[in-house]
Amino acid sequence: MEKRTRTRFAPSPTGPLHMGGVRTALYAYLFAKQKGGDFLLRIEDTDQNRFVPGAEEYIIEALHWCGIKIDEGVSAGGKFSPYRQSERKEMYRKYAEQLVESGHAYYAFDASAELDTARKLAEAAGKTFSYDSSSRMNMKNSLSLPKNETSRLISENTPHVIRLNVPVNEEIRFTDLVRGEVVFHSNLVDDKVLLKSDGMPTYHLAHIVDDVLMEITHAIRGEEWLPSAPAHILIYDFLGWKEQMPHYAHLPLLLKPDGNGKLSKRDGDRLGFPVFPLEWKDPATGEISSGYRERGYYPEAFVNMLAFLGWNPGTEQEIFSMDELIRNFSFHHVHKAGARFDPEKTKWFNQQYLHKKSDEELAKEFLPVVERELNSPQSAVCSPQFVQRICGLVKEKATFVSEFWNLSSYLFIAPSEYEQDVITKKWNENSSKFFNGFIENLQALTGFTRDDIDKTIKQTAADTGIKPGEIMQLLRVLISGRGSGVDLLGMMALLGHDEVCSRLERGLLNVKEKVQ
RNA sequence: GGCCCGUUCGUCUAGGGGCUUAGGACAUCUCCCUUUCACGGAGGAAACACGGGUUCGAUUCCCGUACGGGCUACCA
């Protein structure tokens, strides 16, 4: 029987989750769900120096906002608890020691100052220091030191790490889910630290132990891990875990919209788009980084956009719900090259989702804004029905609900000022003639549908011998104060007979004063 | 510098020896619709990094070069 598919997202709580991280989580989630498996959240907090308070909560909230459900792990619990590596600290030593015993790892006593010296020395010679088969016998470790010396140092509690003993002249190969077969030469892999002197494992050891213990079947992570993958393959092998080793998938990175390099927090500030799903306030500096949620993006749009950064369905469909993404996701369609991020396309996705919402749904979002702006929740113009109709009128012109108020405030509040440019340019004796007649005809009207209004305009124009085109924009200004806006006839029908007539009268009065 | 990964319109990408006049989307331009703006519709401009092979034939396979990215910590 096939093993149950289990993927995990394993971030470090060193700050807010970057959108690249969200995408990694998303792909892992999509794959697990497609296979009917589990998606776990594991927190990799083995570096106490980089721990940032609030980061873990942020990660959980961000995944939740995106609609990525955690089946197991931090915040959800599960039978492999705990899921925070700092709480699993004691479990890792055993495996590191096992590797030392089998000769696949060794104790190293080099102080950080000594390592620095070695690096500087190499640098001066135009080389890069690497703690590996070429240098390890010149360093202070249980391979280079006599046995009794090692025992003495250990018994005296000399600070030490455990390093991987990488074999010489071996080819290390593995199959990556997005890149196919990848080959590395062992001589180029350094003797990575497995267990730090504070007793904490490094990422290299910890993620392997946890992935095996938690029965992870697919390890999905960013491309930055590809160079250390051979070391990981070696560790699985040395621990006797070849069978349990998950399939690896290394995802392409997200690149800056302009210039060189990978997408960073600074690009967002510089180019004015969020890099984070949620707003984040740095606890140390108080600095605030904006988030997609606070900018008014729908999580569905954000997720849809993110899914397409490096993956495509192979068809021409672009709008995908989470369920559709789950059904269609495939590593075969994950692109190998890094993806340059385009904030413009993100807006387009949001616009698509906004347009798909019903007027009723939009009204629910917009009503609180209206009440706040008008400062009077009881007002008749605040009625849900009225707001809903405005949403219908305005949504085609918007990308975010947050634009609705600017696009429609004149429907709630009669204008007190009138766009002078338009009046200056278009107002003449004919207009005067037309509007005098128009107001009378309007007042006599019993019905007030778009059609009724349309007919009245045409009739009045014909009677006064004026082309409708000459007065349409003036009519708009008289009623809304603005030279452009939502569909004019729709707007008048919505405002209703009495409101339109009174706005028209006031507008006319105002214009006549100005013109004389 | 060394090592690894990559390279199709400005951007995200489809395609992967002949089905291609290289398809779609964003952005851009033109027109239509709307007597506004937007939406929508129609159309335009726009790409296989370069050089060698392999082959009857290469954007597709191989090699090299260039360019881009990543890694090169007791960080993940």
pLDDT tens digit at each of 516 positions of chain A: 679 999 999 999 999 999 999 999 999 999 999 999 999 999 999 999 999 999 999 999 999 999 999 999 999 999 999 999 999 999 999 999 999 999 999 999 999 999 999 999 998 888 889 999 999 999 999 999 999 999 999 999 999 999 999 999 999 999 999 999 898 999 999 999 999 999 999 999 999 999 999 999 999 999 999 999 999 999 999 999 999 999 999 999 999 998 788 898 888 888 889 999 999 999 999 999 999 999 999 999 999 999 999 999 999 999 999 999 999 999 999 999 999 999 999 999 999 999 999 999 999 999 999 989 888 666 666 788 899 999 999 999 999 999 999 999 999 999 988 998 888 888 888 888 999 999 999 999 888 999 999 999 999 999 998 888 889 999 999 999 999 999 999 999 999 999 999 999 999 998 877 665
Question: For residues A393-422, b (16+ Cβ closer than 10 Å) or e, as one string?
Answer: bbbeebbebeebbebbbbbbeebeebbeeb
CA of A469 to C1' of B32 (A): 19
Written as six digits, the tokens of A55 are 């980061």
Tell me which protein residue sits closest to nucleotide B71, measuring alpha carbon to C1': A227
A281 classed as catalytic: no
What is the per-residue pLDDT for A381? 67
Q: Straight-line distance from CA A232 to C1' B37, in Å?
A: 58
Beta partners for A108? A141, A161
What integer pLDDT is reported at residue A490 of this predicted model?
Answer: 93
- Find the nucleotide nearest A314 (Cα to C1′): B14
Residue-level pLDDT at A287? 93
Q: How far is the CA of A17 from the C1' of B2 (A)?
A: 32
Catalytic hit among A265, A347, A364, A397: A265
Nearest nt to the CA of A257 via C1' is B11
Contact A214, A40 (CB under 8 A): yes
Q: Which residues pair with A84 in a beta bridge?
A: A43
Task: Give residue A420's pLDDT.
Answer: 87
What pLDDT shows up at residue A95? Answer: 98
Predicted complex ipTM: 0.94
Amino acid at A515: V
Those residues whose C-beta lies under 8 Å from the C-beta of residue A278, and which sit 6 or more positions away, are: A16, A58, A61, A62, A65, A291, A292, A293, A294
* Closest nucleotide C1' to the C-alpha of A108: B74
CA of A338 to C1' of B48 (A): 18
What secondary structure does DSSP assign to A238-256, as a single string? HTT-TTTPPEEEEEPPEE-
The nucleotide minimizing the C1' distance to residue A349's CA is B26
**Strand B positions closer than 7 A to protein CB:** 1-8, 10-15, 23-27, 34-39, 68-76
CB-based contacts of A113: which residues, under 8 Å, 6+ apart? Answer: none
Strands of the sheet containing A171-176, edge to edge, are A72-73, A38-41, A6-9, A218-222, A247-251, A171-176, A180-185
- Res A123: pLDDT: 87
Q: Identify which of A270, A257, A322, A283 has the alpha carbon closest to the alpha carbon of residue A69.
A: A322
> According to the model, what pLDDT value does residue A380 have?
64
Q: CA of A23 vs C1' of B22, distance in Å? A: 30
Nearest-angstrom CA–CA distance, A22 and A170 = 36
pLDDT at A383: 84
